[in-house]
A and B are shown apart, each in its own frame.
Chain A
Amino acid sequence: MAGGRAPLPEHGYLTIAIELADVEKTFVVWRKRGRVRREREVVRAVDGVSFSIERGAMVGYVGPNGAGKSTTVKMLTGILVPSGGRVRVAGVEPARQRIDLARRIGVVFGQRVQLWWDLPLQDSFELLRHVYRVPADRHRRNLDAFVERLEMAPFLATPVRQLSLGQRMRGELTAAMLHDPEILFLDEPTIGLDVVAKARVRDFLAEMNRERGVTVLLTTHDLADIERLCERMLIIDHGRVIYDGGIEELVALHGAERTLVVDLAEPAPPLELDGARAERVDGPRQWLRFRREELSAAELIAAVAERAAIVDLAIEEPDIEDVVARIYRGDAAVTQLGSDPGPAH
């Protein structure tokens, strides 16, 4: 749980910020068949999703396009009404109490602009003060803090349409936080940003979570975001949560292959070893793939040393991108205690 600041009186005393139980969302889509006829098709965008997030947590939400991420977030923010199941955010049902909830949450859409396009950035902030009915002094304090933190002073007077993407995103983050929300929903906040801008966003989010106890649900395609910020990650695919846990756990659980890169004293034919295969050979260098649970690195190194003289070596670990890509492609079924194995692809 994040500490550092007592929650504001109106936040209530809830420990669970977000809760979904068997939530479903089905859409009826009319597909064209030929020139005139249309066929009715039922799409299960969200097909029985359950998870809960405690206050002060920062959780990543990941999935291929069309998996149901945006649909879930829209149900959490009250934009969409669920077809089934139960949703509770900050203790209320989002679909029923959209406006009440909207006061207590912040939303950042990576690809849509919430700020007023033609107006100077500071005008947007001022308008939001009235939209969210933030007391003037609190608004001032927050605004000053964020402007300084995100170095926005140079472009506060610039119309939003003239801002660069990085500048705009800083504005959007500020806009989402000015009213001291309990929960922050972010949908692809780092998309299209350069390295420096991404770092800024991540630092800001980490600080909001740490210093202000804001619960964060981060939807993103950039797994580095998640690696840097989240301890917990949910993967959704075809409307179902197929993984809910830590990142290292996922990599470990996966039994993914590691690679031993050996530089031999002399070029040799591909080494044949138990539990490992030579994936690539380039002169004296060989890339040997092996599975964690079948063979330890030490054992493999010893086996190689028996057959050839080693000059140098390195071990390449699978990274989270690798793992997730393979999950998306269906190359790896995720099995996890207590969670759905997911449909066979």
Chain B
Amino acid sequence: MADTIALFGVYRRLVGARIRSQLQYRLSFALNTLGTTLISFVDFAAILVIFGRIDALGDWSVGEVAFLYAISSVTFGLADLVIGHLDLLPRMIRQGELDVLLARPLGSLFQVVSSDFALRRLGKVFQGLAVLGYALVTVEIDWTAGRAGMLALMLVTGVVIFCGIWVAFASVAFWVVDSTELANAFTYGGNYMAQYPVNIFGAWLRRFVIFIVPLAFVGYFPALFVLGKEDELGLPEAFQFASPLAAAASVAGGWALWRAAVRRYRSTGT
């Protein structure tokens, strides 16, 4: 326990140093964040355009899709903030920076994660929160304590799920040279996919994001509960409460892959 507290202290200091260094250029940072916020809106503009032509997508109304979109944006944005710099891993490996990390008395993943905290990524989070506001106003939700709790919970589990996915696919960098694009297909692709209700996708893809890479638990399943919707896929109601399980599985999977990857690096030197 004392170890974990100490570790958190180290994380706070490492990340704090990065944050301070970014805030030094306050104007540039503010503009960057604003820019990111505006850019993210383009994504949502596409959804608004679609709903200008139709009333419902796979039986989800515009407000309900906006809700999914918002959850995906906020949780992905937060995950990106905490762990997005994992995209730089191939370059770190190439330049031998990983050896510097391995010479220190800290875990390798911990050091890579605590190496940055890019505040400008908050832009996506702000945009997501704005869309969430729109969604909550547009959709008539029958609020209960349970539903409010689930909303809070899914924001947390969503972040954890994306983090697990990020680590898992970043680990590929140890096997494949310059794997960032490959990983992006799953992280950014995952973000894109989680913006829409899972039932519109083909059967094989649905199964993939429910049972293998649990993106369906970022938004879709918990949203069914919050919005009081029927699951068109006919899966058990328990799925709607399974997002913590999915989060745990995602993190466990990612962590296992990372460890295997580092073990390989230490055996083969590449």
A and B touching (Cβ–Cβ under 8 A): yes
Query: Which listed segment binds A: B95-103, B127-135, B203-211, B228-236?
Result: B95-103
Q: Are A107 and B266 in contact (CB under 8 A)?
A: no
What is the bound-complex CA distance between A74 and B269, given in angstroms? 9
B182 contacts partner chain A, Cβ-Cβ < 8 Å: no
Say whether B97 contacts A79, CB under 8 Å: no
Is B21's CB within 8 Å of the partner chain A? yes
Minimal Cβ-Cβ distance residue in A for B9: A130
| Residues in chain B near residue A103, CB distance under 8 A | 105
Question: Hey, which chain A residues are within 8 Å of B102, CB to CB?
Answer: 77-79, 98
Nearest to B266 among chain A residues (CB) is: A81
CA distance A113 to B100 in the complex (A): 8
Do A80 and B269 touch (CB < 8 A)?
yes
Cβ-based interface call for B189 (8 A) = no
Does A95 lie within 8 Å of B103, measured CB to CB? no
Task: Identify which of B95, B103, B106, B268 contacts A114 (C-beta below 8 A).
Answer: B103
Question: Do residues B106 and A123 form an inter-chain contact, with CB atoms below 8 A?
Answer: no
B144 at the binding interface (Cβ < 8 Å):
no
Contact B14 A79 (CB under 8 A): no
A337 within 8 A of B: no
- Pick the contact of B21 from A77, A102, A118, A131 — CB < 8 Å? A118
Q: Cβ of A131: which chain B residues have Cβ within 8 Å of it? A: 10, 104-106
CA distance A126 to B269 in the complex (A): 31
Nearest residue, chain B, Cβ from A28: B268
A116 an interface residue at 8 Å Cβ cutoff? yes
Is the CB–CB distance between A77 and B106 below 8 Å?
no
CB proximity to A under 8 Å, residues B24-41: none
Q: A112-B100, A119-B17 are in contact. Are A102 and B269 (CB under 8 A)?
A: no
Q: List A98-129 residues whose CB lies under 8 Å from chain B.
A: 98-100, 102-103, 107, 109, 112-114, 116, 118-119, 123, 126-127
CB of A286 within 8 Å of the partner chain: no
Contact B103 A127 (CB under 8 A): no
Residue of B whose beta carbon sits closest to that of A82: B267
Partner of B17, one of A71, A127, A133: A127
A45 nearest CB neighbor, chain B only: B269
CA gap between A27 and B263 in the complex, in Å: 14
Flag if A81 contacts B99 (CB, 8 Å). no
- Rounded to whole Å, the gap between the CB of A38 and the closest CB of chain B is 14
Interchain pairs with CB closer than 8 A, number: 63
Complex formed: what's the CA distance from A130 to B106 in Å? 11
A102, B266: Cβ atoms closer than 8 Å: no
**Max chain A C-beta neighbours (<10 A), residue from B6, B14, B266:** B266
Contact with A along B232-270 (1 / 0, CB 8 A): 000000000000000000000000000000010011111
Contact, CB under 8 Å: B10 / A130: yes
The B interface, classified by DSSP as helix, strand, loop or mixed, is: helix
Mark B1-26 against chain A: 1 for CB-CB distance below 8 A, else 0. Answer: 00000100110011001000100000
A51 at the interface (CB under 8 A from B): no
A126 to B20 alpha-carbon distance, docked (Å): 15
Contacting residues, chain A, for B95 (C-beta < 8 A): 112
Residues of chain A contacted by B9 (CB below 8 angstroms): 130
Contact assessment for A102 and B104 in the assembled complex, using a CB-CB cutoff below 8 Å: yes
- A102 close to B14 (CB less than 8 A): no
B14 touches A127 (CB 8 A): yes
Are the CB atoms of B107 and A99 closer together than 8 Å? yes
Residue A13 lies at the interface, judged by CB distance under 8 Å to chain B: no
How far does the Cβ of B195 sit from chain A's closest Cβ, in whole Å? 34
CB of A107 within 8 A of CB of B103, answer yes
A119 with B21: CB separation less than 8 A: yes
Q: From residue A329, how far is it (CB to closest CB) to chain B in Å?
A: 27
Nearest-CB residue, chain B, relative to A118: B21
Contact assessment for A80 and B17 in the assembled complex, using a CB-CB cutoff below 8 Å = no
Within B46-98, which residues are at the interface with A (CB < 8 Å)?
95-97
Contacting residues, chain A, for B263 (C-beta < 8 A) = 81
* A109 proximity list for chain B (CB < 8 A): 99-100, 103
CB distance from A251 to the nearest CB of B (A): 34
A80 and B107 alpha carbons, distance in the complex (Å): 15
- For window 103-138 of chain B, which residues contact chain A by CB distance below 8 Å? 103-107
Q: A112-B100, A123-B17, A127-B17 are in contact. Are A133 and B266 (CB under 8 A)?
A: no
Q: Which residue of A lies closest to B111 (CB)?
A: A131
Say yes or no: B269 contacts A114, CB within 8 Å.
Answer: no
Given known pairs A109-B99, A114-B100, A130-B9, the reply for A80 and B105 (CB within 8 Å) is no
Provide the residues of chain A in CB contact with B268, threshold 8 Å: 27-28
Q: Which B positions have Cβ atoms within 8 angstroms of A? A: 6, 9-10, 13-14, 17, 21, 95-97, 99-100, 102-107, 263, 266-270
Nearest 8 pairs between A and B by C-beta?
A102-B105, A107-B103, A103-B105, A79-B102, A99-B105, A81-B266, A118-B21, A130-B10
Q: A102-B105, A118-B21 are in contact. List 14 more A-B contacts (CB 8 A).
A: A27-B270, A81-B263, A81-B267, A95-B266, A99-B106, A109-B103, A112-B96, A112-B97, A112-B100, A114-B103, A130-B10, A131-B104, A131-B105, A132-B105
Task: List residues of A whose CB falls within 8 A of some B CB.
Answer: 27-28, 71, 74, 77-81, 95, 98-100, 102-103, 107, 109, 112-114, 116, 118-119, 123, 126-127, 130-133
CB-defined A-B contacts under 8 Å, sample of 24: A27-B268, A74-B99, A78-B102, A78-B103, A80-B267, A80-B269, A81-B266, A81-B267, A99-B105, A99-B107, A102-B104, A103-B105, A112-B95, A112-B96, A112-B97, A112-B99, A118-B21, A119-B21, A126-B13, A127-B13, A127-B14, A127-B17, A131-B104, A132-B105
